[in-house]
Amino acid sequence: MTTHMTLRVNGSDHDITVAPDTLLLDALRYECGLTGAKLGCGTGDCGACTVTVDGEAVNSCLVYALECEGHAVETVEGATAGGIGALVAEEFVKADAVQCGFCSPGIIMSTCALLARTEPGAATDEDIKEALAGNLCRCTGYLPILEAVRRASGAPR
């Protein structure tokens, strides 16, 4: 049993077909062709699937696509196309905060949500850790990530 819906992602409307329990993550990847958000655990534990819905970071593996009808979804593809997201991505590269890269789209989305709710330079290390606690990275040891977020936070916007 499937239904049609309009999913607004990165500012564009996608007319897609979903089941009642199609995950936002799967709708993004298989219906919209946006493969930035990754399936890590599927249980909300790793954060690799993080996207924003109305500006808030959420685990797209725990959200049904139909819950997002009428809301604005942003993925790493949209967020890093320009503006603060592009700056965040640049700082991640400069700080060597990306190794295998599997966690990066999710971490960048959590970072974008953090920067959207804090003034330039205002995010403390505690704020950054709180914002990123739900994003696991198995490669970097987190210090380069922390550094990249600090720099992005401090940059003028």
Partner 1 sequence: MSEPDVGSYRRPDNLAEALTMLDRRPASVLAGGTDLVVLRADGTVDRAHDIVDIKGLSELRGISRDADGTLTIGAATTLRELARTTVVPPNAITDGAALVGGWQTRVRGTIGGNICRASPAGDTLPGILAAHAQLELASTTGTRLVPAHAFFTGPGRTVREPNELLTRVIVPASRGASAYLRFTYRRAMDLAVVGVAVHLEIENGRCVAARVALGAAAATPVPAPEAADALVGTELDEPSVAAAAQLVLNTATPIDDGRGSRAHRRTVLPVLAKRAIGIALERAREGHPR
In this complex, which beta carbon is closest to ligand FAD, that of residue 11 or of residue 44?
44
| 48, two tokens | 């690799």
Computed from CA positions of residues 22, 26, 31, 37, in that sequence, does the dihedral angle turn out positive or negative?
positive
130 binds ligand FAD (CB under 6 A): no
* DSSP 8-state symbol, 50: E
Site string for ligand FAD, 30-69 (x = CB under 6 A): --------------xx------------------------
45 binds ligand FES (CB under 6 A): yes
| Spatial distance between the Cα atoms of 63 and 131, rounded to a whole number of angstroms | 19
Q: Which of residues 55-84 bind partner 1 (CB under 8 A)?
A: 56-59, 61-64, 66-67
In the complex, least distance from residue 58 CB atom to ligand FAD, rounded to whole angstroms? 11
Burial track 14-34 (b if 16+ CB lie within 10 A, e otherwise): bebebeeebbbbbbbbebbeb
Rounded alpha-carbon distances, angstroms, from residue 65 to 22, 54, 88, 93, 123:
6, 14, 27, 31, 31
Q: Which of 16, 38, 40, 50 binds partner 1 (CB under 8 A)?
A: 50
| Spatial distance between the Cα atoms of 21 and 108, rounded to a whole number of angstroms | 26
Q: Which of residues 93-132 bind ligand FES (CB under 6 A)?
A: 98-103
Where does this chain bind ligand FES (CB under 6 A)?
39-42, 44-49, 59, 61, 98-103, 137-140
Instruction: Name the site residues for partner 1 (rule: CB under 8 A).
Output: 1, 3, 19-21, 23, 42-45, 47, 50, 56-59, 61-64, 66-67, 110, 113, 130-135
